[in-house]
């Protein structure tokens, strides 16, 4: 029974483990021996030895796991890092959280079908616009700056070797037709109102020109006059490339260069008169009349090298230029605006005739 009192039973993984047993036996010491020897130190050393052996078996308090302390360390280590090492003074920011949207407003998502529909509408609109522009302008049109130009700048030059001058105008267009009969019907109605109108020849579609100017500003003035008549207009740049014709005599090339220069002068005066200007003076009218007489005198020699349709269209161009100058003289004497519209009509007809000359010689 006394031995069981000092016995320690250890179970590991459900099994009993053998340990050393400490027993307390009574020691019998001779009193005489105690007197001769001081055994107190030996007894103390024996006790310390027994205590060290007991400490190997019984767990010490240092081996106990403090879960509360570990929880505090884990909580502290989970906080955001702060530069000064003092986490207690760190800013109170949410850690590892997604930022909530402001005011709970969600960005609307645009459906892909809506984007595709808008893109398709833009493409179709551009296609229709290009088609309409092509119908109204044609393939022989080049867009130029619509700023003011003077007569000297507008006069085309011709190169050596028999090339014809290039004529570039700002045209007031009133329509385009696929059939000549329909275009002639509309032109006839315009003529009944005392307004100019002519149809191009050999173009697809057929354009109806109702006015012309040396630059975009002049053409705009003519277009504004048609507003009072309820006529829809469209301004465009029209170019007749005479440089495509080569191999002509110098006399023929010089005559057409002078004719185009004369054409520009008469055109400027007619636009100025229709817009209420004062350029149509007695001296200017006399100058235009002298230039027309010189062109008429020189054309027989110049046209002698032309044959067939090119000669016929060249003669018609000369006649239209003379008529345009005569209408300016009539306006000078009568101040009737109808004469200026007739001058515009003659200039439009001269334009079509010159285009026919170039096509016949190509």
Q: Is the pLDDT of residue 257 over 80?
A: yes
How does strand 234-240 pair with strand 167-177?
antiparallel
Any long-range contacts for 53-56 (C-beta under 8 Å, 24+ apart)?
53/20, 53/22, 54/22
The predicted structure's pLDDT at residue 230: 86
Q: Is the pLDDT of residue 1 over 60?
A: no
- Residue 361 has which token pair? 């010689």
Distance CA 57, CA 53 (A): 7
Q: Who has greater pLDDT, 220 or 137?
A: 220
214-250: buried (b, 16+ CB within 10 Å) or exposed (e) per residue? bbbebbbbbbebbeeeebebbbbbbebbbeebeebee
The predicted structure's pLDDT at residue 158: 38
Nearest to 197 by CA among 357, 344, 326: 344
Q: Is the pLDDT of residue 115 over 90?
A: no
Percent of the chain with pLDDT over 70: 64
Residue recorded with tokens 């200039």: 347
The predicted structure's pLDDT at residue 152: 40
Give the pLDDT mean for 23-32.
Answer: 53
Residue 127: how many CB atoms within 10 A of its CB? 10
CA angle 230-236-242, nearest 5°? 135
Nearest to 253 by CA among 238, 242, 264, 266: 242
Helical spans, DSSP H, in the chain: 2-5, 31-36, 40-57, 67-77, 112-137, 151-154, 180-192, 216-227, 250-274, 282-303, 308-334, 337-361
pLDDT digits (tens, 9 = 90+) for 182-238: 999 999 999 999 999 999 998 889 999 999 999 999 999 999 999 888 889 999 999
Distance (Å) of CA 109 to CA 98, 99, 113, 115: 21, 20, 12, 11
- Residue 124 has which token pair? 């179709």
pLDDT digits (tens, 9 = 90+) for 77-104: 766 555 555 555 555 555 555 555 555 5
């Amino acid at each position: 029974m006394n031995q069981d009192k000092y016995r320690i039973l250890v179970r590991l993984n459900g099994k009993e483990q053998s340990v050393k047993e400490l027993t307390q036996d009574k020691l019998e010491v001779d009193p005489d021996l105690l007197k001769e020897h001081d055994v107190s130190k030996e007894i103390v050393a024996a006790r310390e030895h027994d205590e060290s052996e007991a400490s190997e078996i019984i767990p010490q308090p240092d081996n106990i796991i403090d879960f509360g302390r570990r929880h505090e360390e884990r909580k502290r280590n989970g906080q955001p890092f702060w530069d000064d090492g003092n986490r207690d003074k760190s800013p109170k920011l949410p850690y590892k959280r997604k930022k909530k949207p402001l005011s709970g407003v969600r960005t609307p998502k645009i459906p892909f079908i809506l984007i595709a529909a808008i893109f398709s509408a833009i493409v179709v609109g551009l296609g229709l616009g290009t088609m309409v522009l092509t119908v109204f302008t044609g393939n022989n049109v080049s867009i130029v700056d619509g700023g003011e130009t003077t007569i000297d700048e507008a006069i085309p030059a011709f190169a050596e070797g028999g090339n014809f001058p290039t004529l570039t105008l700002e045209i007031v267009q009133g329509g385009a037709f696929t059939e000549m009969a329909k275009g002639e019907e509309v032109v006839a109605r315009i003529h009944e109102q005392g307004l100019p109108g002519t149809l191009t020849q050999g173009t697809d579609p057929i354009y109806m020109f109702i006015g012309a100017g040396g630059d975009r500003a002049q053409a705009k003035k003519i277009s504004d006059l048609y507003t009072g008549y309820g006529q829809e207009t469209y301004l465009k740049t029209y170019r007749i490339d005479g440089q495509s014709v080569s191999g002509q005599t110098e006399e023929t090339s010089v005559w057409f260069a002078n004719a185009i220069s004369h054409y520009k002068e008469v055109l400027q005066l007619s636009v100025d008169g229709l817009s209420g200007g004062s350029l149509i003076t007695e001296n200017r009218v006399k100058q235009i009349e002298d230039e027309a007489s010189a062109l008429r005198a020189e054309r027989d020699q110049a046209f002698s090298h032309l044959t067939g349709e090119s000669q016929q269209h060249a003669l018609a161009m000369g006649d239209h230029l003379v008529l345009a100058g005569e209408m300016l003289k009539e306006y000078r004497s009568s101040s009737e605006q109808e004469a200026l519209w007739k001058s515009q009509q003659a200039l439009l007809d001269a334009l079509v005739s010159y285009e026919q000359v170039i096509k016949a010689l190509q």
